[in-house]
A and B are shown apart, each in its own frame.
Chain A
């Protein structure tokens, strides 16, 4: 151990004597390690964001809406297809046991007035089941009753962002607000969900009963389609397979809407978490590409190390001769140059980790890309740098150790 420390010391002295060259040699390692750190921090950050998004959506939730395919489709017939209604919801509920909870939704944006405050936000008409389906929690007060939902009760449940913005953070229970000039009583508040990761906050929202939204707020009470719902949200019994449920629902809805076999769906049954996972997979591919780049950078860095160590061994042939003459064994010389290469790589990796963490922080500050510092990866990075040092330092070190003492001493 004492000997190893002394060998490290010799290496440090040798590296300091050629400080500039040592630094230039390290650059490859520094860049390689820094890119590993940045790459992993960014990709684990976005993975975490995605997982959070999925968890906030709920993993066993499906949405049904009229219109053609939702993502990346050629079709854009979203508005043209017939909307769903509460009757459809009742039919689905009756047909399928695997539906746990189900809620319709009608959404508009409208100004809300409280005292002299005026705030435009999302007004969402819902069934009571919407709260559990979308993983909301009532923080204070209560959910809507079935009666309020059916008969256009003028009651509201508000998100934390609303409490901040128009109630100055005070409990709004029992207070009256006006939405599109209709007075509502606040009966409940929602527990904070936090940033959505996709623009605005989840918490900037007001829920009202779906019937009230249709009749009073959205202007979507189409007389030809009574009790329409823009979207249906439902959760599937965890004992059932999501893909199976999705397929069953599709087939039945085709039947309901009398779509002839072979014709395309004029509605969409989507699994959000699947969509987000799919998007995450492309992020993983990108991560793999970056990992390959980082490995290439490390290999290039390693070749740089090998090159400079070969030069160093040749330059210091006489030194090697002197060491052999005073009794150094071949193993001592091998160790000396190996330790030198590894030390070079380790110092480089420390710089690399520092630069990687620095640029990771900078990226998360300057953009809204989520960055998560992954502590184990720092150790992996340092270990891989040490490995590069051993791997690429071995050949030069072995070359040094195999020198003949007298030839090395005579070397000009």
Chain B
């Protein structure tokens, strides 16, 4: 298990200083996530779920401990190394979509390719269009975010997360702004992506979302209080 882990937290702490007060967003978290896993992260508001995602995605750095993702210890890396890491290995899906406004769906999806340092990259347009097709939006390529529904915007965001063939997709409350029906469609999409081998970590408050995953991490006050694996259960079914 240890050798095959893709993501490895070793005693990770993340503190935020708010004036004189120090908030322990994550305290002494140790956990492993293997390649190909589909993990739900749950817990009350303020329990450190987003903080965990930001650390895995190298958007932020731990205060202490070691965080190894895909063999790279994200603590004390050069900012360029982290940028390339985000570009190559990570796909983000945010609750608020975070698409560039007044920019077409296609251009939004192409954005990570623009910053790619991969020389043997194919045609950007073709790659981006394939990803839009994969999320079922090939007919909305030229639409700007304002001309798309919330579900469609989130699918553009997923296409963008996919375009660089990442090994991990991080989704922080991806269905938070969507209705139930759209959420279910999105979950099907995630399932498909996971089946194709991509590791997915999804933060959610919704039981329906968590139910489709095989593993649940429950957070409270910056600590993992429960780690439920359904592998055995589903194997037995």
Contacts and interface: CB of A to CB of B under 8 A. Distances in A.
A322 interface: yes
Contacts of B99: 322
Contact of B116 (A318, A327, A405): A327
A327 B88 contact: yes
B83 A329 contact: yes
Nearest to A7: B114
Interface string A386-406: 000000000000000000111
Contacts of B86: 324-327, 405
Nearest to B84: A327
Contacts of A332: 83, 115
Contact of A322 (B84, B98, B102, B164): B98
B111 A322 contact: yes
A243 interface: no
Contacts of B88: 327
Interface in A315-370: 318-319, 321-332
Nearest to B97: A322
B79 interface: yes
A149 to B, nearest CB: 86
Contacts of A17: 102
Contact of B79 (A321, A329, A406, A409): A329
Contact of A324 (B54, B83, B102, B160): B83
A318 B96 CA distance: 11
Nearest to B57: A325
Contact of A326 (B54, B102, B111): B111
Contact of B98 (A6, A325, A329, A404): A325
Give the interface SS of chain A, mostly helix, strand, loop or mixed: helix
A340 to B, nearest CB: 15
A327 B60 CA distance: 13
B21 interface: no
Interface in B97-115: 98-103, 111-112, 114-115
Nearest to A6: B114
B63 to A, nearest CB: 14
Interface in A291-329: 318-319, 321-329
B111 A323 contact: yes
Interface string A1-41: 00000100000010001000000000000000000000000
B59 A319 contact: no
A326 B115 contact: yes
A53 to B, nearest CB: 60
Contact of A327 (B98, B101, B103, B112): B112
Contacts of A322: 98-100, 111
A17 B99 CA distance: 16
Contacts of A13: 103
B123 interface: no
Given A322-B111, A326-B111, A327-B115, A409 B102 contact: no
A325 B57 CA distance: 8
B80 interface: yes
A406 B100 contact: no
Interface string B44-87: 00000000001001011000000000000000000110011011
B59 A325 contact: yes
B115 A319 contact: no
Contacts of B60: 404-406
A328 B114 CA distance: 8
Contact of A329 (B84, B94, B101): B84
A326 B112 contact: yes
Contacts of B114: 6
A334 to B, nearest CB: 12
Contacts of A405: 59-60, 86
Chain B CB within 10 Å, residue with most, of A6, A318, A322, A330:
A322
A406 B160 contact: no
B159 to A, nearest CB: 12
A318 B115 contact: no
Interface string B146-175: 000000000000001000100000000000
A327 B59 CA distance: 10
Chain B CB within 10 Å, residue with most, of A327, A329, A404:
A327
Chain A CB within 10 Å, residue with most, of B54, B59, B86, B116:
B59
20 contacts: A318-B98, A319-B100, A319-B101, A322-B111, A324-B86, A325-B57, A325-B86, A325-B98, A326-B160, A327-B88, A327-B112, A327-B116, A328-B83, A328-B87, A329-B80, A330-B83, A332-B83, A405-B59, A406-B60, A409-B94
Interface of B: 54, 57, 59-60, 79-80, 83-84, 86-88, 92, 94, 98-103, 111-112, 114-116, 160, 164
Given A327-B164, A409-B94, 5 more contacts: A327-B115, A329-B80, A329-B83, A332-B115, A406-B54
Closest 7 CB pairs of A and B: A327-B87, A326-B112, A329-B83, A327-B115, A406-B59, A405-B59, A406-B60
